[in-house]
Amino acid sequence: MQAFGVDIGGTGIKGAPVGLEAGRLALSRYEVATPHPGKPEDVADAVRGVVDHFRWRGPVGVAFPGVVVHGITQSAANMHPGWIGRDAASLMAEHLGRPVVVMNDADAAGIAEMAHGAGRRWAEAAPRPESGPTIVLTLGTGIGSAVFVDGVLMPNTELGHLELDGHDAETQASARARKAEGLGWAVWGRRLERYLAHLEMLFCPGLFVLGGGISREADRFLPLLRSIRTPVVPAELHNDAGIVGAAMAAPRSQDRP
Ligand code: BGC
């Protein structure tokens, strides 16, 4: 059984068919640049381009970098403000000619990591029934969060926008902040450590999973997080997690391709 996942990001829109049993991409992903200034119609056209690239006719799920409630996009920190209050699920359905689920990108990445990646591996290694929530963070253009309590997602948590030292946390500790400010791993790692310590104080988590493309370089920064008591593990699906999670959420009533 396959479904198609699309992950809309600030710089790229990527997608691929996903094998749902394995929770892995069934074909190499295809990516196009996110249109600027990223108005909803233009982005929906680009999403269609990604889906059509594979001549895909089956179920589609879309991950969006903002709050999404019942298919309505309610925030757009790194996207065009025209998304705010927009019925993104209907917009995508019109462009793709079938029902589409739209969800927050970090929530999508989180459900993929919990079902097929680092969250699952952690739970299998040693069941810890009394531990606190698992917090999956995606460190990319922004910081996305997915919080799981006893494995159940609490959607749209937006922990990347917590205040950290007087700033929006994602402007300090995202992968983009590291690049934009030309920070070395040690300096950026200290910021990440401050951010995780703040989350630790608020949530007493049982596990942090750190995702986004930067998770491929986890060995450069995980050793820097010395003061964090909560176990911290890198995501396993890296930048594919949003695609896999979106596909997992795709409406299944469609014909298979
Ligand atoms: C958005 C979140 C999103 C995260 C990662 C943040 O700026 O507010 O909704 O999950 O970026 O894309």
Top CATH class, 2-107+241-255 = alpha beta
What integer is the mean pLDDT of 213-220?
A: 94
pLDDT tens digits, one per residue of 154-171 = 999 999 999 999 999 999
Q: Which atom of ligand 1 is the closest one to the Cα of 156?
A: 9
> Distance from the CA of 39 to the center of ligand 1, in angstroms?
17
Kindly tell me if the per-residue pLDDT of 257 is higher than 80.
Answer: no
What integer is the mean pLDDT of 143-154?
A: 97
85 φ/ψ sector (left φ>0, alpha ψ -120 to 50, else beta): left
In contact, 110 and 155? CB cutoff 8 Å:
no
Task: Please name the residue whose Cα sits nearest to atom 1 of ligand 1.
Answer: 66
- Measured distance CA(134)–CA(152) in Å, rounded: 10
118-236 matches 2-107+241-255 in CATH topology: yes
Amino acid at 141: T
> Distance from the CA of 135 to the center of ligand 1, in angstroms?
14
* Three-point CA angle 201, 116, 105, nearest 5°: 60
Kindly tell me if the per-residue pLDDT of 254 is higher than 60.
Answer: no
Q: Hey, where are the domains in the chain?
A: 2-107+241-255, 118-236
Higher pLDDT, 102 or 253: 102
pLDDT tens digits, one per residue of 100-147 = 999 999 999 999 999 999 999 999 988 777 789 999 999 999 999 999
Q: Residue 74: CB partners within 8 Å, gap ≥ 6? A: 66, 67, 68, 84, 85
> Distance from the CA of 66 to the center of ligand 1, in angstroms?
5
Confidence of residue 54 (pLDDT cuts 50, 70, 90): very high
Q: Which atom of ligand 1 is the closest one to the Cα of 142?
A: 11
Distances (CA, A) of 114 to 118, 136, 145: 7, 9, 13
Kindly tell me if the per-residue pLDDT of 56 is higher than 80.
Answer: yes
Q: Which atom of ligand 1 is the closest one to the Cα of 105?
A: 10
Q: Which atom of ligand 1 is the closest one to the Cα of 67?
A: 9
Kindly tell me if the per-residue pLDDT of 243 is higher than 90.
Answer: yes
CATH number of the structural domain 118-236:
3.30.420.40
For residue 242 and ligand 1, the question of a CB distance below 6 A is answered with: no
